[in-house]
Amino acid sequence: MTRRGRLFELARSAPRITGTDGFASPHLPSPTVSDGYRGPDFAKRDRDGSGGDDLVTAVARLFPREKAEQLFKTPTANLASNGSAQHPDKRKAGGHGPTLEDEVCFLLDVDPDADPVDGPHTPADWWGPFAKAVYRWEVLMGTAAPVPIMFGPRGGVKLAPKFAEWLMGLPDGWVTDVPGLTREEQIGRIGNGVVPMQSYHAFRWCLAQKAFTEEERAA
């Protein structure tokens, strides 16, 4: 830029690029189409000619799995007819993923006869590795989690429908207080439902996209 015949340097909006690699600071790889349907490949950057990490892998390295919160499996309708719970390790050894019932029956430290908590939060030691996720959902729901397990008719431990109901973000009794429903029917209806907050967000997004499209057509 010149002013009155004198040359001035333009103001910079970003730091100078330094170093031999042409980049001023660490950066994420550019997105690619295949990022939408593949998981992280942690061995990729060690393969000759691979070009290093893709975006999915680079982001996964920022959030190591051992530091991530452990979440419960989603309630599913077939929990009502799956039979008895199995330890997650046994389920995995058979080539299948653990179910919500497997997790609550084998990975938690809570008694089926425990009294419901009259307060904002349940004891953290009930939940083991799921404690952080449960605490956050209790904050969002505004209610303490129900006791997650119950005794079955033969004395075995089973998933409590009220916990599945709470986990799906439903008001207490929305399904479980409907007259005439068995435990299996309650689990089936809860598993076939949706999380209302997610449904609301999805409809809101769809309506926003519809409004945007109509504005474009009118322009």
Q: Is 41 domain-assigned? A: no
Token reading at 66:
């051992």
Q: Is 192 domain-assigned? A: yes
Q: Is 29 domain-assigned? A: no
Distance CA 101, CA 84 (A): 9
Position 3 scores a pLDDT of 56
Position 27 scores a pLDDT of 77
Q: Is 40 domain-assigned? A: no
Q: Is 54 domain-assigned? A: no
What pTM was computed for the model? Answer: 0.68
Q: Residue 129: what residue type?
A: P
Q: Report how far apart, in Å, the C-alpha atoms of 78 and of each of 62, 82, 94, 190, 191 are.
A: 35, 6, 18, 10, 8
Position 63 scores a pLDDT of 67
Position 130 scores a pLDDT of 96
Q: Is 37 domain-assigned? A: no
E-assigned strand segments in the chain = 2-3, 6-7, 149-151, 157-159
Token reading at 58:
């680079």
Q: Is 35 domain-assigned? A: no
Q: Which domain holds residue 82?
A: 77-197
Please tell me the total number of residues recorded for the chain in this structure. 219
**Helix (H/G/I), strand (E/B), else coil: 3:** strand
| Domain count for the chain | 1
Q: Is 132 domain-assigned? A: yes
The distance in angstroms from the start CA to the end CA of the chain is 39
The whole-number mean pLDDT for each consecutive block of 10 residues of the chain, a chain of 219 residues, reads 56 47 61 77 81 83 68 92 90 91 97 93 96 95 96 93 98 97 96 93 90 76
b/e map 176-188, b = 16+ CB within 10 Å: beeeeeebeebbb
Position 10 scores a pLDDT of 54
